[in-house]
Amino acid sequence: MNHRIMEQYKKLGISPEVYAVGEKTEEKLKERFAAIDETAEFNQLKVIAAMQKNRVSAECFNISSGYGYNDIGRDTLERVYADCFGGEDALVRPQITCGTHALALALMSNLRPGDELLSPVGKPYDTLEEVIGIRPSKGSLAEYGITYSQVDLLPDGSFDFEGIRSAINDRTRLVTIQRSRGYSSRPTLSVDQIGELVSFVKGIRQDIICMVDNCYGEFVEEKEPLDVGADMIVGSLIKNPGGGLAPVGGYIVGKKECVENAAYRLTSPGLGKEVGASLGITQSFYQGLFLAPTVVSAALKGAVFAANIFGELGFSVIPDGLQSRHDIIQEIEFHGPDAMLAFCEGIQAAAAVDSYVTPEPWAMPGYDSEVVMAAGAFVQGSSIELSADGPLKPPYAVFFQGGLTWYHAKLGILKSLQKLYERDLVNIGKLC
């Protein structure tokens, strides 16, 4: 116990008992945190090596406007991404508006009418349902005559290899593999598991494109999906690789042909990567990538810390406090609205931005129950920043992620615990 630090926590409304729970838990997690730091160190060096190899210079931060021809900063950044993630080429653009857009772009540009898309890992992320046309939508892949098939994971979370073999047919052109569990209850895939799946698919037909939805997975491990044979990875810059600094954007990295197809679709056939003004945003992309390995390590420590505290207090935590991690998402089931709301209020109250507002459940379009969201972020909607959300229905699960620094993630979790403690929703006696 450090009294000066405890006094600082007190000023932020953390009582000595709750602080003590935090200290005890952190003490127990020393080895775990050291392993997370080691991954961050490895990935920090990987990022710096990619920047040095591509001779990143102050000139790369210049502003381009209009068509954006010969934007050295943009073009160099794309080579940095390609080297860092192990691809032949990359598209990293502010014109890609979010993760869903990046995924839609990768799919729509690499599939043609008559092709079939296969998800061998169950239902994809919610927003992709309209992209694919599982839920009908204007401009979906289905409207362009691209069919979809799906093989669910087996009940124990493993791949249904026989099911996948029989689902692959002459028209199967692209396989989409979601790395993170997102907001579903299936396990997150490790990069090695992804490698195993890619090898299996390639063993059936070498020319099937293996795409990985890499959202929330970047820099969690030392390897990335392209290192184990995937053809293309796709993600959002307001999650892990933007390091909290990128204010917008998405990326696609992989085989030259896959990236070129995406570039021709994003801008125009014939123009591709040659256009796209960066309007002065490029420096934040570089600096965000530079910080991303440590930002991801902070988020991971927060997730592990929360799993250990709330797991010990008797809540269901997925993954649990001991499991290995392959993304930054932590689920905590509160089994009732009061504790769930208290948790979210704590996360909000710990923010540097909008700390004084109280998150209220609301009927969000597309959901069948009310949803509560806590986020006080520098970049709106950024989920690499400390945030939590979940639908107000059993099992009253909160999905919690992010934290640009470990100390902020720690404060958020302690603040959440404080709210539950003050409302008599937990008994922390045995932990402090």
Ligand X SMILES: *Cc1c(COP(=O)(O)O)cnc(C)c1O
Those residues whose C-beta lies under 8 Å from the C-beta of residue 214, and which sit 6 or more positions away, are 179, 224, 225, 233, 234, 235
* Smallest separation, CB 404 to ligand X (Å): 17
* Smallest separation, CB 225 to ligand X (Å): 13
Of the CA atoms within 13 Å of residue 302, those in its CB half-sphere come to: 35
CA pair distance 328, 349, nearest whole angstrom: 21
* Smallest separation, CB 131 to ligand X (Å): 10
**Segment 13-32, which members bind ligand X (CB under 6 A)?**
none
Q: Which is nearer to ligand X, 64 or 382 (CB)?
A: 382
CA pair distance 71, 80, nearest whole angstrom: 14
Residue 94 binds ligand X, judged by CB under 6 A: no
Q: Are 62 and 73 in contact (CB under 8 A)?
A: yes
Residue 127 binds ligand X, judged by CB under 6 A: yes
Residue 213 binds ligand X, judged by CB under 6 A: yes
* Smallest separation, CB 333 to ligand X (Å): 19
Q: Which is nearer to ligand X, 174 or 428 (CB)?
A: 174
From 74-82, 85-93, 176-184, 286-294, span contacting ligand X (CB under 6 A)? 176-184
Q: Which is nearer to ligand X, 19 or 159 (CB)?
A: 159
From 177-185, 300-308, 310-318, 331-339, span contacting ligand X (CB under 6 A)? 177-185
Q: Which is nearer to ligand X, 186 or 223 (CB)?
A: 186
Three-state DSSP state, 355:
coil
* Smallest separation, CB 327 to ligand X (Å): 8
Of the CA atoms within 13 Å of residue 16, those in its CB half-sphere come to: 5
Q: Which is nearer to ligand X, 238 or 341 (CB)?
A: 238
Three-state DSSP state, 367:
coil
Instruction: Provide the sign of the torsion angle of the four alpha carbons 61, 75, 88, 271, taken in this order.
Output: positive
Among 86, 94, 99, 120, binds ligand X (CB under 6 A): 99
Among 9, 216, 305, 315, binds ligand X (CB under 6 A): 216
Residue 249 binds ligand X, judged by CB under 6 A: no
Q: Which is nearer to ligand X, 119 or 178 (CB)?
A: 178
Among 180, 240, 261, 282, binds ligand X (CB under 6 A): 180
Spell out, one character per residue from 285 to 324, where the chain touches ligand X: x when CB under 6 A holds, - when not: ----------------------------------------
From 209-217, 258-266, 304-312, 313-321, span contacting ligand X (CB under 6 A)? 209-217
Q: Which is nearer to ligand X, 60 or 238 (CB)?
A: 238
Q: Are 148 and 133 in contact (CB under 8 A)?
A: yes
Of the CA atoms within 13 Å of residue 182, those in its CB half-sphere come to: 18
> For 160-183, b where at least 16 C-beta lie within 10 A, e where not — what string?
beeebeebbeeebbbbbbbbbbbe
Q: What angle do helix axes 16-28 and 30-53 make, rounded to 10 degrees?
A: 70
Q: Which residue, among 303, 217, 233, has the nearest Cα to 89 in the 3D structure?
A: 233
Residue 100 binds ligand X, judged by CB under 6 A: yes
- The number of helix segments (H) and strand segments (E) in the chain equals 12, 12
Q: Which is nearer to ligand X, 98 or 191 (CB)?
A: 98
CA pair distance 203, 205, nearest whole angstrom: 6
Among 56, 134, 215, 252, binds ligand X (CB under 6 A): 215
Q: Is 150 left (phi over 0), alpha (psi -120 to 50) or beta?
A: beta
* Smallest separation, CB 139 to ligand X (Å): 16
Judged by CB under 6 A, the number of residues near ligand X is: 13
DSSP state of 403: -
CA pair distance 232, 252, nearest whole angstrom: 7
Q: Which is nearer to ligand X, 126 or 196 (CB)?
A: 126
Q: Which is nearer to ligand X, 44 or 127 (CB)?
A: 127
Among 82, 98, 275, 298, binds ligand X (CB under 6 A): 98
Residue 125 binds ligand X, judged by CB under 6 A: yes
Spell out, one character per residue from 182 to 201, where the chain touches ligand X: x when CB under 6 A holds, - when not: x-------------------
Q: Which is nearer to ligand X, 105 or 275 (CB)?
A: 105
Q: By 3-state DSSP, what share of the chain in percent is helix, strand and coil, each rounded to 5?
A: 45, 15, 45
Backbone angles phi, psi at 42, to 5 degrees: -55, -50
- One-letter amino acid identity for 89? D
Residue 178 binds ligand X, judged by CB under 6 A: yes
Sites of contact with ligand X (CB under 6 A) = 98-100, 103, 125, 127, 178, 180, 182, 213, 215-216, 236
